[in-house]
Amino acid sequence: MSHRLSLTQAFVFLLRRDLLLALRNRAEYAMPLLFFVLVITLFPLALGASPELLARIAPGIVWVAALLAAMLSLDSIFRSDFEDGSLEQILLSAHPVAMLVLAKVCAHWLVTGLPLLLVAPLLAEMLGMPSEAQPTLLLTILIGTPILSLIGAIGVALTVGLRKGGIILSLLVLPLYVPVLIFAASATETAATGFDPSAQLYMLTAFLLFSVSLSPWATAAALRMSVS
C-alpha cells in the first residue's frame, strides 16, 4: 500500500467508521436508551409512587438503570467486528491495538453513554429529585459512563468469542462497576441533601483517568486471546 495512516488518522478513522455504522443502525443506540427509561419506570411501579421515597432513592435508581443499560449495550462494541473479521484486521494493523481499542470505546460511549445525559434530567424530574442535585447527576453521568464503557470493553473482549457470552459478561463486569456506582450515587445524594459533592466527583474523575490509562491495554490483550 502506498498510503499510510498516522496513528491520529487511524484513531479518527476508526471512530468515524463506528459512529457511521451506529448511525445507519438506529436500534443500536435507541435500545439502551429505551431500556434505561423502562427500568426507571419499573421502580415507582414496584415501590409505590410515594414522592418522598422516590426523591430519596432517585440517585440510586438512575444509576442502577444506567449500569444495566451500559451492560446491555456492551456486546455491540466488538461483536459485529468479530463476526465479520474486521477485528482481526484491527489486530493486524501496524498501530498499537490499545489506541484503536480506545477509539472503538469512545465511539461506543458517544453512541450509548452520551444519550443518557439527554434523558437523565427528564427522568430525574419525574422521580422528584431536588433540582439542585440535577447538575451533579449529569456530571456523574458524564464522568461515570465512560468508565462503564472502558471496563466493559475488557469483559466483552474476553467473552466475544463465546456463543453464550452474555450471562458470563454480566458476572465479570458488574462487580467491577461497584466503585463507580457507589461514588456516583453518593455524589448525587450528597448534592440532594445540600452538601458539596466535589470529593466524590474527584474520586470518579480519578477512576476515569485510571481506567482510560489501563483498560485499553487489558482489552487489547484480551482481544488477542479471543481472536487467536
Cα–Cα distance between 78 and 46 in angstroms, integer? 35
Closest approach, Cβ 191 to other proteins, in A, equals 17
- The amino acid occupying position 128 is G
User: Cβ closer to other proteins: 119 or 172?
Assistant: 172
Closest approach, Cβ 22 to other proteins, in A, equals 26
User: Cβ closer to other proteins: 76 or 211?
Assistant: 211
User: Cβ closer to other proteins: 43 or 183?
Assistant: 183
Cα–Cα distance between 155 and 171 in angstroms, integer? 9
Closest approach, Cβ 169 to other proteins, in A, equals 9
User: Cβ closer to other proteins: 7 or 162?
Assistant: 162
Contact 69, 42 (CB under 8 A): no
Cα–Cα distance between 21 and 100 in angstroms, integer? 16
- The amino acid occupying position 133 is A
User: Cβ closer to other proteins: 149 or 226?
Assistant: 226
Cα–Cα distance between 39 and 5 in angstroms, integer? 43
Buried/exposed code over 18-29 (b: 16+ C-beta within 10 A; e: otherwise): bbeebeeeeebb
Cα–Cα distance between 67 and 155 in angstroms, integer? 14
Closest approach, Cβ 155 to other proteins, in A, equals 8
Cα–Cα distance between 130 and 124 in angstroms, integer? 8
Cell numbers found for residue 87: 477485528
User: Cβ closer to other proteins: 122 or 168?
Assistant: 168
Residues near other proteins (CB under 8 A) are 154, 158-159, 161-162, 164-165, 168, 171-172, 174-176, 178-179, 182-183, 186, 203, 207, 214, 218, 221-222, 225-226, 228
Cα–Cα distance between 112 and 32 in angstroms, integer? 7
Those residues with Cβ within 8 angstroms of residue 61's Cβ, 6 or more apart along the chain or in another chain: 40, 43, 54, 127
Closest approach, Cβ 220 to other proteins, in A, equals 10
Closest approach, Cβ 218 to other proteins, in A, equals 5
